[in-house]
Amino acid sequence: QVQLVESGGGLAQAGGSLRLSCAASGRTFSRYNMGWFRQAPGKEREFVAAISWSGGSTYYADSVKGRFTISRDNAKNTLYLQMNSLKPEDTAVYYCAAALRGMTVGIATATGGYDHWGQGTQVTVSS
């Protein structure tokens, strides 16, 4: 089983940037497809971005495409989310998630497609 710990959240101004990290321990990180999700108050958890075990495939929600970049460093057992041009509507708790199952767009973008979750990190964007 893999354990996930997010970091890097905080307060940013609109138009600013933040970089989230997700440190993994336990089973071999490089075997897992990874994703980022977010949940705003009163809303359901929603897909943000996903990356395959090799880094060769990535998926993004339309709302973040062109602004956010997902990446991974398998040597460091770490997943990243670079967030640029932040907007107030990006305010949410951000979660990383891991899955051993095969990655298709349907699986990658659904909360049910992941088996392991971190505890989340708060991102707040002020206008």
Predicted pLDDT of residue 26: 74
The pLDDT of residue 106: 85
CB 45 within 8 A of CB 39: yes
Whether the CB-CB separation of 48 and 59 falls below 8 Å is answered with no
Q: What is the pLDDT of residue 89?
A: 97
- Average confidence (pLDDT) per 10 residues, the chain, 127 residues: 95 98 90 97 97 95 98 96 98 96 86 95 97
Beta carbons within 8 Å of 76's beta carbon, 6+ residues apart: none
Round the CA-based radius of gyration of the chain to a whole number and report it: 13
Phi/psi class of residue 64: alpha, beta or left (left: φ > 0; alpha: ψ in -120 to 50)? alpha
pLDDT at 103 (0 to 100): 83
Determine the 3-state secondary structure of 113 from DSSP: helix
CA distance 72 to 55: 7
Nearest to 117 by CA among 14, 38, 11: 38
